[in-house]
Structure 1
Amino acid sequence: MLRETIRLRLENVELVSHLEQERDRAQAADRAKTRFLAAASHDLRQPIHALSLLISTLAVLGHRGAVQSADARDLAGKAKSIVGNLSALLNGLLDISRLDAGVVTVARETVNLSQLFNQLNNEFASVAKDRSLDWRVVESRLQADSDPMMLKRVLGNLLSNAFRYTESGGVLLGCRRRGAAVEIQIWDTGPGIPTDQQAMIFEEFVQLQNPARDRTQGLGLGLAIVRRTAALLQHPLKLISVTGRGSMFSVTVPQASTVALPLPDNKPSPAGIAVSIMVVEDERDVLDVMVQLLTLQGHRVYAGRSAAEVQQIHAEAMTAGDAPVDLIIADYRLGDGATGLEAIEALCAHIGRSVPAVIVTGDTSPSRIKDATASGLHILHKPITGEELYEAIVAACVDGEESIKSDR
């Protein structure tokens, strides 16, 4: 009885300790979420506020008469810059949501570090020149086993961070053998990071050297994305820093012995294309602008705020003559609880065949991202540019043609 009593007491002590750890973890997560939402709200409001003032300025100029071409170009340039800042923030949030949702898949292959380093050297050479910093890349013939695009993204974010906070001295990129692994290191002569704050910098919107939230100093999402991506790749991260002397960030990757393939080029080169497109978008302002843009690009458009409305417009076009459909573009979240996937299914049934489709979404919810990704359709995340929309149309149509050929 004494042994059983002692055993139960020890189990209770262990259970209480475990519950306290879970409570502390939940409270820490709640505080982090509150801090994240507050920072995200602030950073989203800033460009929207600037854009609102810019629109008011344009309206005042319009009331005074025809807007001069120089003024129009100046306002357009400022608007483009503001939208670019907003897009960068939203894309960062989207990257984090995609990583949290588990829809990012790792495509491991042999990575030639010499080629990867050469690409990074070219990308950051102008940054180093503009900031009058020494930029050195140590040549390496080693090869790594990793996802080439994701590894490049991790190193690119770390290098951007190093250049951003280094005012004098320089930045160095190199690697060291670590048994069967390779430790890729990035050294800088920046201000350094105090020991008690080193874990904090990998959280969202944390910028120790940017308390005023200056947008030119980044958004505070780069290292959070690095942490999540490295964890997905199972590449350990390390930070060594001395206040006033600089920092060293590193990521350790397995070595590979096979021949590495060239890194793919990210930049698409769409050919000219003009097709007939069904568009479903429940926001009237967005729908009007999209129809105008697609029409200017040379496409024929059947557009409406619901699948039923688009079907009616297309049926009317068919009574007047030939009304082909090559592509469907649908917003993911529509009115009355409908989804873009349901709209695409209804429109394909109306046409009598399957056609390529593109989903446009502003959702960053991990569950929504999972659902949209599971469809296998091309997905565009708001906000999008005219170039991105055009490239998605080209890609979807090309994939559709290849699918038809394979069926034949």
Structure 2
Amino acid sequence: MTVDSEMSAPFLFLLVALVCINFYYCRTTYRMLRETISLRLENETLVEDLQEERDRAQSADRAKTRFLAAASHDLRQPLHALSLLVSTLALLGRRGDVPSGAARDLAEKAKTVVGNLSGLLNALLDISRLDAGVVRVAKEPVALGELFHDLRTEFVAEAEQRGLAWRVVMSDLWVDSDPLLLRRILNNLLSNAFRYTKRGTVLLGCRRRGNRVEIQVWDTGGGIPSDKQTSVFEEFVQLQNSARDRTQGLGLGLAIVRRTADLLEHPLRLTSMYGHGSMFSITLPVHQGLGALTASSASLPSGGCLLGIMLVEDETDVLQAMEQLLTLEGHRVYAGRTAAEVQEVHLADVSMTNPPVDLIIADYRLGHGLTGLDAIRTLRSYLGRSVPAIVVTGDTSPSRLKEVSESGFRILHKPISGEELGNAIQAARPD
């Protein structure tokens, strides 16, 4: 009995130790198995994510390739037409005096071509600015009644010209949005509706949906097939303009609408039945707590006050044209190809002692690797004060646009008209 008791104690100890060891190894094996399964699942998730990123990158690359190819084609077309018109004018000139009728006809055609080219460049610029993230959103209360009234007036002539009924359902609601960007969205949607509606009605209205409002644009045009309703928001897509008729637009309007709506965080919706028309809409938040709200647009200073303007432009033809235009408008202009040349012209102005300078206008791309921002800083240092400035640029590179935008200066995008330049000067000049 004593021997059995003495033998059972070690066996019991060994049994307990064996159980503990087995339990430890089972626990360790379980942990390793669980971590292995977890790592495998994570790897599978990472592989799926990488495949999705690769597919998105490839899709974006293909889209960018299509975009550049279409943009190149659409830019070459008006330039080709303009080149032929210039050759025709030169040929007529070599034969003698150009008849007035022929000259007017060529001028009208050239004006149309330049207008198409300018429209395309402006649309491409809008897309580049949206992609670069330099479009600043300034949301504020917007009166739909005032906005709808302006749009109704704006499209009356087009409706009459196309023989379409034009209806606007007025609203007294106020919404939170950027008034300029919202107007651009609706302008593009209405322009599309009128362009592709051959007969019937175009309607603008809205529906209240709780604390949000959906602004809708209806038309009785040809409609959009269900399998094409996503692609219409891509660049240069025109389902009903296979002949590339420039009077039917450039295929960029809806691409700009989509990007702008995303920027504003206003959901965009399309409902269409092929052969029966379409409805485009954006949804906005209703403004809460209306008080005595007034229109947000600040009035520009009244004209009549002539300014001293420093002008920096390294292209001689452009420099002379802008200097002549500004001088004819009555401004005192100090122009040069560099900031140093402008300083010399200013110092040489013997008509006045220390002639005042109210504004600086500088082209962005200057010679010797300098930019308009460098010229503005140099001239401000020379004058000893922060004179208001305008940067003129034809650059559509997103990185360049972002750099210019972050400078805080007012920006004008080439090509610009005399009226656009005048408005920018009025808005930028000191009070």
TM-score (norm 2): 0.85
Partner residue, 1:95 = 126
Q: How far apart in 1 are the matches of 2:299 and 2:74?
A: 29
1:297 aligns with 2:324: no
1:272 aligned to which of 304, 313, 328: 304
Q: 1:260 to 1:203 in 2, by over 3 A?
A: farther
Residue 178 of structure 1, CA deviation: 1.5
Matches within 5 A, 1:159-174: 159-174=190-205
1:25 alignment partner AA: R
1:383 alignment partner AA: P
Residue 183 of structure 1, CA deviation: 1.3
CA contact (8 A) 1:332 1:361 kept: yes
2:392 aligned to which of 360, 372, 387: 360
2:373 aligned to which of 341, 361, 370: 341
Partner residue, 2:180 = 149
Q: How far apart in 1 are the matches of 2:301 and 2:116?
A: 25
Q: How far apart in 2 are the matches of 1:260 and 1:184?
A: 24
1:223 aligns with 2:276: no
Residue 250 of structure 1, CA deviation: 1.1
Structure 1, unmatched stretches of 5+, are: 403-408
Partner residue, 1:405 = none
Partner residue, 1:10 = 41
Q: How far apart in 2 are the matches of 1:30 and 1:266?
A: 42
Identity of aligned residues (%): 67
Which whole-Å deviations, capped at 9, do the CAs of 1:145-182 have from their partners, x for residues lacking one? 22222222211211111111111221222222222211
2:364 aligned to which of 323, 329, 332: 332
CA contact (8 A) 2:301 2:426 kept: no
Q: Which structure ranks higher in relative contact order (CA pairs < 8 Å, sequence separation ≥ 6)?
A: 1
Aligned residues: 399
* SS across alignment from 1:241: strand
1:380 alignment partner AA: L
Partner residue, 2:110 = 79
Partner residue, 1:123 = 154
Partner residue, 1:380 = 412
CA contact (8 A) 1:109 1:260 kept: no
CA radius of gyration, larger in: 2
Q: How far apart in 2 are the matches of 1:56 and 1:336?
A: 35
Q: Which moved more, 1:301-310 or 1:337-346?
A: 301-310
Structure 2, unmatched stretches of 5+, are: 1-31
CA contact (8 A) 1:358 1:377 kept: yes
Partner residue, 2:344 = 312
Q: 1:294 to 1:145 in 2, by over 3 A?
A: closer
Partner residue, 1:139 = 170
1:55 alignment partner AA: V
Which whole-Å deviations, capped at 9, do the CAs of 1:222-254 have from their partners, x for residues lacking one? 111111111121111111111111111111111
Residue 261 of structure 1, CA deviation: 3.8
Which whole-Å deviations, capped at 9, do the CAs of 1:42-97 have from their partners, x for residues lacking one? 11112222222333334344445555665555444433332222221111122222
Q: 1:176 to 1:327 in 2, by over 3 A?
A: closer
1:175 aligns with 2:206: yes
Residue 40 of structure 1, CA deviation: 1.1
Q: How far apart in 2 are the matches of 1:270 and 1:81?
A: 33
Q: Which moved more, 1:348-357 or 1:279-288?
A: 348-357
* SS across alignment from 1:335: coil
Q: How far apart in 2 are the matches of 1:235 and 1:23?
A: 28
Q: How far apart in 1 are the matches of 2:378 and 2:145?
A: 51
Q: Which moved more, 1:148-157 or 1:298-307?
A: 298-307
Partner residue, 2:69 = 38
CA contact (8 A) 2:360 2:390 kept: yes
Q: How far apart in 2 are the matches of 1:30 and 1:69?
A: 50
TM-score (norm 1): 0.89
1:57 aligns with 2:85: no
Matches within 5 A, 1:104-123: 104-123=135-154
